[in-house]
Amino acid sequence: MSEESSFSLIKRRSFLSGLSKASLLMCLPLPALAANDTTAPNEGLTGIQFLSDPYLQNCTEHSVTVMWLTNNDCLSWVELIAPDNTRKKCFTEAHGLVSAGKGLHKIKLLDLLPDTNYRYEVFSKEIEDFHPYHLVYGETIKKGPFSFKTFSAQQDEVRFVVLNDLHDHPDNITEMMAAGCKPSDYDFVVLNGDAFDYVSDEAQILRNVLVPATSIFASEKPFLMVQGNHEVRGKFARQLFSYFDYPKGNSYYAFTQGPVRFIVMDAGEDKDDDHAEYGGLISFNPYREAQALWLEKEIENPAFKTAAFRVVLIHIPVFHSGEGHGSLHCRKLFNPLFNKGKIDLSLSGHTHRYGTYDADEATHNYPIVIGGGPGTAVRKDGRRTLIKVHATKTSLALDMLTDDGKIVGAYRLKK
């Protein structure tokens, strides 16, 4: 365990709120948390406290989900500020109940206008006494205002960046984002699988993804968690999904932003379901088959067919990643549909060796770009990459940069 917990780090950050995010990064190292760290998230905290800044998920033309974590029981809400400065208080309600409690807060902002700038503030009001007939509220804490822009299929362009294979190194987010791009370079960020070695508890998710991501972009730009084969390992893997938000509750889905139709696939584990390593807890073969059935329909979807570009995000590339079961099964089920649908580009990670592989009529008739990785137990600089993509209605430009800003892969696709 590091000498400084992520939570004292968060508290210290509140003192530094006057500093820019960039200067904050210069001041605060983000210590890595070992995957098996068992530090309790609430350790040393009293009263109501934010465990994370708010982070944006699942942005669409008409909605976005705001999430954050607190330590104690509370009632939480978002105040949405429209462009005309009118305010709307938004809660999560289900089955007639307003959501209240400790931990994770997930509030979906609905009925938004496309391609529109909004601001928001988040609030958590402590519930000191949570008895059936005697509710006592305590302090209210607030973060913000932050801003975001809704997506739109009508936008002329889209920009996004991709990180992959973070493997419990939070500085892969902070260092690569700070060195490789500025906020105007992206509408959203993709974490393209294996953010963790394996998932043990909430503290690990906070320290190794949510704290570094919100320190740079995630309160104002949404990010996608593409499921890798390491996210599905560990005793907390089954809870991980709830810390993010997905269009239809699945880890595979499609969405449009500007001229691009994005196809997010879940490649699953790299070995077969009955491998001894998984102890009978894995069932990815039927899950991939379900995805293939879904993909068959998606490539006939008018939104897919009419998009200027079609980009696949999949952690394990269907070629150039060995001949393991996961790769082969994805190749067998997905690749014929990628070819048939005439996708323009596939973005992956997994191998930790960056590379670009041109379209090949005999195998994949679309280019495959594989981002590099840091290594697992020990970080290895020079292998980490940031992939930047800018697409308009007529062109798609991709650059893959290593730690030192060197471009090690590029595509310029024309429509």
Rule CB under 5 A: which residues touch Fe ion?
A: 194, 228-229, 350
Q: Which is nearer to Fe ion, 11 or 271 (CB)?
A: 271
Q: Which is nearer to Fe ion, 195 or 254 (CB)?
A: 195
Q: Which is nearer to Fe ion, 141 or 314 (CB)?
A: 314
Residues linked to residue 352 through DSSP beta bridges, in sequence order: none
Q: d(Cα 228, Cα 162) in Å, to the nearest integer?
A: 14
Is the preceding omega at residue 247 within 30 degrees of 0, hence cis?
Answer: no
Q: Which is nearer to Fe ion, 175 or 270 (CB)?
A: 270
Strands 355-357 and 368-370: antiparallel
- Please report how close the Cβ of residue 272 comes to Fe ion at its closest, in angstroms: 16
Q: Which is nearer to Fe ion, 7 or 196 (CB)?
A: 196
Are 200 and 39 in contact by the 8 Å Cβ rule? The answer is: no
Q: d(Cα 208, Cα 234) in Å, to the nearest integer?
A: 15
Are 126 and 138 in contact by the 8 Å Cβ rule? The answer is: yes
Q: Which is nearer to Fe ion, 37 or 194 (CB)?
A: 194
Which structure tokens are listed for 277? 């390593």
Closest residue by Cα to residue 210 from 232, 198, 197, 195: 195
351: left (phi over 0), alpha (psi -120 to 50) or beta: alpha
Are 260 and 310 in contact by the 8 Å Cβ rule? The answer is: yes
Q: Which is nearer to Fe ion, 350 or 364 (CB)?
A: 350
Which structure tokens are listed for 202? 């909430």
- Please report how close the Cβ of residue 229 comes to Fe ion at its closest, in angstroms: 5
364: left (phi over 0), alpha (psi -120 to 50) or beta: beta
User: From the CA atom positions of the chain, what is the Rg in Å?
Assistant: 21
- Please report how close the Cβ of residue 238 comes to Fe ion at its closest, in angstroms: 19
- Please report how close the Cβ of residue 124 comes to Fe ion at its closest, in angstroms: 35
Q: Which helix (H) or strand (E) holds 377?
A: none
Q: Which is nearer to Fe ion, 216 or 237 (CB)?
A: 237
Displacement of CA 285 from its chain's centroid (Å): 24
Interhelix angle 284-298/325-341, nearest 10 degrees: 10
Q: Which residue of this chain has its Cβ atom nearest to Fe ion in the complex?
A: 350
Are 180 and 161 in contact by the 8 Å Cβ rule? The answer is: yes
- Please report how close the Cβ of residue 352 comes to Fe ion at its closest, in angstroms: 8
- Please report how close the Cβ of residue 314 comes to Fe ion at its closest, in angstroms: 11
Is the preceding omega at residue 336 within 30 degrees of 0, hence cis?
Answer: no
- Residue found by looking up tokens 């931990």 in the block: 103
Q: Which is nearer to Fe ion, 78 or 369 (CB)?
A: 369
Other CB atoms within 10 Å distance of the CB of residue 262: 22
Work out whether the CA dihedral 37, 165, 323, 294 comes out positive or negative. positive
- Please report how close the Cβ of residue 326 comes to Fe ion at its closest, in angstroms: 9
- Please report how close the Cβ of residue 391 comes to Fe ion at its closest, in angstroms: 26
Q: Which is nearer to Fe ion, 233 or 310 (CB)?
A: 233
Q: d(Cα 38, Cα 33) in Å, to the nearest integer?
A: 10
